[in-house]
Amino acid sequence: MSALSRSAIRSSVTPVLGVLLLWAAAGSATADSVTAAIFEHAHLGPATCASSTCHGANQRASGARILLNEYSVWQQTDPHARSYATLAGKESRAIAAKLGLGDPTTAPACLTCHVDHPPADKRGEKFLISDGVGCEACHGGAEQWISSHVDSSRPRSATLAEGLYPTEDPVARAKLCLSCHMGTPDRMITHEIMGAGHPRLSFELDTFTWLNPHYEIDADYIERKGEFNGARDWGIGQGVAASNLLEILLDERRGWHGIFPELVLFDCHACHRPMSGNQWGPRPGTGLGPGVVRINDSNLVMYRHVLAVVDRAAADDLGQATRALHQATLASRERTFAAARTLRAKIEASLPRVAAHGFGPETLGQVLDSMLRDAERGEFRDFAAAEQAALAAQSVVVAFESARQLSEEEAGPLRSAVDRLYSTVEKEDAYRMASFTDALRGLRATAR
């Protein structure tokens, strides 16, 4: 089977994508944070949504605007419904024991991501922690919109004002998913939790949005909520992840651990690799010398390629600001903070433009051109960056396939070219920049 299926992407993403493990204490949510929005109103519990006339139908409805079997889909196929049970399992107990946390099903460090966890005074009668990541963990506390949201004559903006979270908006959705799938200062996972055996977190917005869906995009959906674009979602996911990384780095409490910065913010391979030597070479995008621990810039690198499609000058500017951040880590914590603030502001300012851009079939060639320019100047010397690029090529091709922007004649050869690119990053120890660059050239030629 081709490596180019969504499940293949998911498993291949695991070893690399931005991995953030933060320390979970009962976090204080900042005014504009995801958790503040989700927990603003009381959570009534999934049982409230489950009646057979609401979202609890056994089968998808015909003729209705939505599927109406969302509850059954969630309960039967969605891992979010099992995430509390995960905490009761052997693996979780072993992790918690190593960390001295006691029972993981009551440890805030784990509950913060594995269940819907509004404050005690925001829990309705049917709310149960054991429901795991329920409807309101993503759609927001339903206290104010539970009765009104069924009235289709009301504008959506009215329901959003009552606390329904805008999951259809790609930036808002990326922030929501990444708050658990990467971590934020409110929901933290650290190198310590990782060291205790927690699986690596990996996330790609477009792929993950479509792994266990209880929604579908049809003409009616587009009319109600606007266009859905997989390539756009991939790009937005990269930008929000990069911004997230900087937000944690800028957090004096969560981003640092004693005399060290939180190690999960750095390239795992900078420390975890064999000591046989002679693997180092310069990467112009960082300007760092040998033997230096570098920030994991994989999402930053990918977002620069996304931005290159929308605005070349802004992308070059982002590249310079990323290099400035790497350089600042050699100077001082203050200089690092200043560079991270500048970079984050640039990303945040560009997100609405990227979200509004209509990524069409020409995007694939543009992204590949931008990556090839990097490759030709030695930017993919770093295994981690090369692997990210292969994943990016995969996601963009898949996004175009599922958006039916590629014909079958185009898709077949592209899949093989992506497989070939991917094979050059399959084994870290066997990685050669020259074969990667060659495969990328081949993919570029196929995409014409």
Beta carbons of 355 and 170 less than 8 angstroms apart: yes
For the bound state, the minimum distance from the C-beta of residue 308 to ligand HEC, rounded and expressed in Å, comes to: 26
Q: Closest by alpha carbon to 74, among 53, 49, 91?
A: 49
Kindly list the distances between the CA atom of residue 47 and the CA atoms of 42, 71, 204, 292, in Å, as whole numbers in the listed order: 14, 9, 30, 52
Nearer Cβ to ligand HEC (133/447): 133
Asked if 326 is part of the footprint of ligand HEC (rule: CB under 6 A), the reply reads no
Tell the smallest beta-carbon distance from residue 64 to ligand HEC (Å): 9
* Token pair of 211 as six digits: 């792994």
Give 19 or 301: the residue with its C-beta nearer to ligand HEC: 19
* DSSP character string of 224-275: HH----HHHHHHHHHHHHHHHHHHHHT-TTTSEETTEE-GGGB-HHHHSS-S
Q: Token match 């933060």: residue? A: 22
**8-47 binders of ligand HEC (CB under 6 A):** 19, 24, 46
CB of 268 to ligand HEC, least distance (A): 3
- For 178, how many CA atoms within 13 A lie in the half-sphere containing its CB? 31
- Map the footprint of ligand HEC across residues 65-94, applying CB under 6 A: 66, 70-71, 74, 79-80, 82-83, 86-87, 91-92
Residues 179-198 that bind ligand HEC (CB under 6 A): 179-181, 183, 187, 189, 191, 193-195, 198
CA distances (Å), origin 195, targets 90, 108, 190, 271: 17, 18, 9, 13
* Tokens matching residue 245: 């990384």
Are 218 and 182 in contact, with CB atoms under 8 Å apart? no
Which one of the spans 259-267, 281-289, 350-358, 402-410 is the region binding ligand HEC (CB under 6 A)? Answer: 259-267
Shortest spacing between CB 65 and ligand HEC, in angstroms: 6
What is the per-residue binding string for ligand HEC in 94-133, x denoting contact by CB under 6 A? -xx--x-x--x--x-xx-xxx------------------x
243: which residues sit within 8 A by CB, 6+ positions away?
Answer: 344, 347, 348, 351
Q: Which stretch binds ligand HEC (CB under 6 A): 123-131, 210-218, 312-320, 351-359?
A: 210-218
**Residue of 30, 144, 221, 324 interacting with ligand HEC (CB under 6 A):** 221
383's tokens: 């295994």
* 338 binds ligand HEC per the rule CB under 6 A: no
d(CA 392, CA 418): 10
85-185-130 Cα angle (round to 5): 20
Q: Work out whether 304 is an interface residue with ligand HEC (CB under 6 A).
A: no
CB of 116 to ligand HEC, least distance (A): 6
- Among 9, 249, 264, 406, the residue binding ligand HEC under the rule CB under 6 A is 264
Q: Contacts with ligand HEC in 385-444 (CB under 6 A)?
A: none
Residue 27 CB, shortest distance to ligand HEC, in Å, is: 10
3-state DSSP: the chain helix, strand, coil percent, rounded to 5? 55, 0, 40
Contacting positions for ligand HEC (CB under 6 A): 19, 24, 46, 49, 55, 66, 70-71, 74, 79-80, 82-83, 86-87, 91-92, 95-96, 99, 101, 104, 107, 109-110, 112-114, 133-135, 137-139, 167-168, 173, 176-177, 179-181, 183, 187, 189, 191, 193-195, 198-202, 208-209, 211-212, 214-215, 221, 225, 263-264, 266, 268, 270-272, 293
